[in-house]
Structure 1
């Protein structure tokens, strides 16, 4: 029996709706969302990196990714994940914040740091000073930070990973200069007497110094200092490299519990692995982090002057010892803070 025009029209309309539904379903099936929980000064870098990785992943797999970021002080971010924030990956300021994710339950595998090259640190940085243009207070090294008329801006080591690197860089300078930990403690205590406010994260400290005009010097991540310089056009601020600083190694990891629950392990693993690729290492350098690829680092040698650096493992015995001795509840930083307040 021949179909009438109306029946044929309904038939093809039905077929179109079915095909639309199938395409819609397939579109949703191949769209995956990742959450990267990171620390304060990585906002600009990961905004660029995410777009590059999304395009790469689309070309490789045909899959559409949506990548969301959460930023804040590294310690606070770790606490958020511990409290249930569903991070597929964490890209935090230091290894001890990632170790802390297993404080109450197993969120990541204990051997997480060996799963990626360079102990899961795809970029590094160091700690420098940012001062007003012309360096009116003549700040050249750590010893200048404890002069009577100097106000120092640095965030709170209890909430900020960058602040812990700042604290340890100051301690390393003092111990190297004065010869022992007792003198180092005295120096660091004097330094914190010059700190008028402790922001919760590195970006907050930068805002206090740059936008609010607080302080004479900001102790900062190298990348954060360069970014501030770039945004201010170089006519208000300048960077001072101290005689000694610390090799700051931010680390990255899968949150195994989350990726296995969401089924995003493949995408999240690739997201972290791609950080070591040549395109990503160039993006890292362009956002003022130091690439771990030595060939790419050489291409940006003028941007990253040589500076004497100590390492957390060689100078302090690793993050496990450091966290317990300096930053756990009732440890050295708490004692210093109680003493000056």
Structure 2
């Protein structure tokens, strides 16, 4: 046989084998690349929130996952953390990684900002001072209101057992305290000493100071302690839903417009590459779908047209804003800082 023919045949065979091998490798590499791309598409997001938003975000997260999938084609896994708002802010400031915080009040977000994790100006990053939903403070009493509690003045009567969280750790507790203080200011024509004395008497009737609002709800409902729970409106509605024959809500003559705050934790999202995801997560709270979810979880939507569709919310509640106290920084310094008025009036039992 011609040697040149043999050499040509061997070369052709090697070329074909090499081509097949190259094609196989290319196909394998392409498959790996596609798998890798699909893997990259799934992102994670951590939302550090406060106590009473557990049900709200359990619902919202499922809706948002679907929205994100439709918008980007990507998957997202969302982790939640809940606790007293002040405590949660401290946890984030001390290293708990959060892409977003959804806390009970502006001051707690500022605490994360002061730790260098959130940029200045965060309060204007989203509409309505970055407060997509609101609430207020009401009284939750046992069915029939056996102690006849109608307004703040009734809470200082002898023998009344009050359940409220600790203002040093709970955002909701600070709203409770300031609502009581504002009532006393009105009652005593702005006399600060009389207001201070009233709030001191109120806290003398407090049986248990839990670290967060959900802990206080547990104390009142599951443990059966106290005559009245100073409660977020949304928490009170949840109690009525679960125990319709056991409790009722009393709306005091004056209360406070509680404005929970949301913010992107800039330092974390820039490190993790999740800024776009975090921005959409908080922005979608303002969408019609997000607003309806808030309302169905008994938070007052910031969208007035959607709010009007939910008849459970009394539109005639007499609400004042935190500006009555000069904003949160001033209120915190005056009332809740170490050595502030709360420390002066509260005696541990």
> TM (normalized to structure 2)?
0.91
**1:9, 1:195 → 2: CA distance?**
80
Distance in 1, Cα, partners of 2:31 & 2:66: 25
Q: Deviations over 1:58-88 (max 9, x none)?
A: 1011111111110000000000001011100
Distance apart, 1:102 and its partner CA: 3.0
Residue 37 (structure 1) aligns with: 48
Correspondence for 1:157: 167
Secondary structure of 1:301's counterpart equals: coil
Aligned positions of 1:314-329 closer than 5 A: 315-329=324-338
Aligned length: 335
Pairing partner for 1:308 from 287, 303, 318: 318
Q: Which moved more, 1:7-16 or 1:275-284?
A: 7-16
The equivalent position to 1:239 in structure 2, one of 226, 242, 249, is: 249
Determine the C-alpha separation between the residues in 1 that align with 2:312 and 2:211: 32
How far is 1:136 from its partner? 0.9
| C-alpha distance after superposition, 1:101-159 (max 9, x if no partner) | 133x3111110001111000000000000011111111111111111121000000000
Q: In structure 2, the residue corresponding to 1:198 is in which secondary structure?
A: strand
- Give the equivalent residue in structure 1 for 2:211: 200
Closer/same/farther in 2, CA of residues 16 and 135 from structure 1, 3 Å limit: farther
Tell whether the 8 Å contact from 1:290 to 1:304 is kept in structure 2 after alignment: no
**Partner-residue secondary structure (3-state), 1:154:** strand
| Cross-structure match for 1:142 | 152
Runs of 4 or more off by more than 3 Å in structure 1?
Answer: 7-20, 301-305
Measured after TM superposition, the shift of residue 303 of structure 1 is: 3.4
Q: 2:121 matched to which residue of 1?
A: 111
**Corresponding position of 1:48:** 59
Show structure 1 runs of 5+ residues with no match: none
TM-score norm. by structure 1 comes to 0.93
Alignment correspondent of 2:92: 81
Q: Which moved more, 1:141-150 or 1:120-129?
A: 141-150
What 5-or-longer segments of structure 2 have no aligned partner? 1-11
Residue 19 of structure 1 and its aligned partner are, at CA, apart by 5.1
Contact 1:142 / 1:170 at 8 angstroms: preserved in 2? Answer: yes
Q: Report how far residue 231 of structure 1 moved.
A: 1.4
How far off is 1:9 after superposition?
11
In structure 1, the residue matched to 2:6 is none
Pairing 1:270–2:254 present: no
Q: Structure 1 CA distance, aligned partners of 2:313 and 2:321?
A: 21
1:210-232, Cα deviation, whole Å (9 max, x unpaired): 00001000000000110111112
What displacement does 1:39 show? 0.4
Shift of residue 197, structure 1, vs aligned partner: 1.1
Q: Deviations over 1:296-341 (max 9, x none)?
A: 011113433421011101x111001001000111111111114x65
**Partner of residue 299, structure 2:** 289
